[in-house]
Amino acid sequence: DIGVAGIWNDMNEPAIAERPFGDGGDHIWFPLDAPQGPDDDRATHAKTHNLYGLMMAKACAEGLQKVRSGERSFVLTRSGFAGVQRYSSVWIGDNQSQWEHLEMSLPMLCNMGLSGVAFVGCDIGGFAGNATAEMFARWMQVGMLYPLMRGHSAMSTAQHEPWVFGSRTEQICREYINLRYQLLPYIYTLFWEAATTGTPILRPLLYHFPRDRTTYHLYDQVLLGPSLMAAPVYRPGVEHRAVYLPEGTWFDWWTGECYQGPMHILADAPLEKMPLYVRGGGIIAIAPVQQFVSEQQLDSLKMRIWPGTGEWTLYEDDGHSFEHEKGVWAATNYRVYFEGEKVIVEIAAREGEFAISEREVTVEVVGVGEQQFRDDGAARRLTFG
């Protein structure tokens, strides 16, 4: 009733800064032989430590569901155990404002995703310490990819708002935050896939290219979903970086330049630009820029499609209730392929019971052309070129 929509569980390993017990070393957690639980069901902390954060997240999620009248809730936890993804998002804890911690973030989050915990993120800009303008700009670019995109810093540090670092950094942050909002239909579909199949949202290249041994050693490039690959910059003063493109056709997100993998390239990466690439046949839904998620209805949509062979399903629901569990959702499959010199886009009839108002859809085949239509949920076949 007072506007609480979510709960943030911190230091729930549990960690305690003011310890009521003896010295016991430099740890900030309970002694492993500390008794816990009621007399008739007592155990040592050694047996309950890993369950503490999990059960705390579970209790918060279930409690919020009881008091919020069928509305989805948000729980964020620092600690957890196998299964925590059913109740909570997770952030990786108190990182530092260091280039090395920026570089560490993607492999950490990819490993979490591969372990079944897909809704993850870390503190953009670093929690402890003071980020520089360059570091913060680069971190915001990477943070745009995090399933949980969240800035944070400790009370004792310098302010980490984008405008603190000057107009150039502020503009870079604005552009990548806007891009995040534009990608939300694509990202929301990835969340649906994670919830229904366990597929990670943020993926190492080896996930889609398991036979390419080069990808086994690539921790500094990442795929957001099946189609969008990023090669961020993790060092100060760097304006170019090596990028590996696995087998297949790849397109530069910014310029449309086409490459045929497998190959290594030297990518242009001035401070304003994080190298981004899309697989041939990639299909990405683009929404108008918003200031917050529910600011406006999605009454127009752009489907950006890169020439090649591929398919992708756009998932939609009301975004706030549990009606999707009763079949009130919508799914639209898009398929692209070549037919001679032509590019064909097939749009299947919309499935599901979620009602979507008729809207303007623009289908753009990058480098070929675009077509518009009023989307009423019916099947369509579009020809380009």
Active site residues: 10, 13, 94
The tokens for 291 are 């200031």
In the chain, alpha helices (H): 45-67, 99-114, 133-143, 167-182, 184-197, 205-208
Q: Give the burial string for 127-147 (b: 16+ CB within 10 Å, else e).
A: bebbbebbbbbbbbbbbbbbb
Type of residue found at 169: T
As a whole number of angstroms, the distance between CA 258 and CA 206 comes to 22
Helices 133-143 + 167-182 axis angle, to 10: 0
The 3-state secondary structure of 262-308, one letter per residue: EEEEEEECCCCCCCEEEECCCEEEECCCCCCCCCCCCCEEEEEECCC
Dihedral sign from CA coordinates of 240, 245, 250, 253: negative
**Contact indicator for 253, 243 with CB cutoff of 8 Å:** no
**DSSP string covering 145-208:** TSSS-EE---TTSPP--GGGG-HHHHHHHHHHHHHHHHTHHHHHHHHHHHHHH---SEE-HHHH
As a whole number of angstroms, the distance between CA 105 and CA 122 comes to 7
As a whole number of angstroms, the distance between CA 45 and CA 59 comes to 19
Cα angle: 75, vertex 137, 172; to 5 degrees: 100
Report CA Rg, the chain: 23
Three-state secondary-structure class, residue 234: coil
Dihedral sign from CA coordinates of 8, 14, 16, 19: positive
As a whole number of angstroms, the distance between CA 337 and CA 370 comes to 15
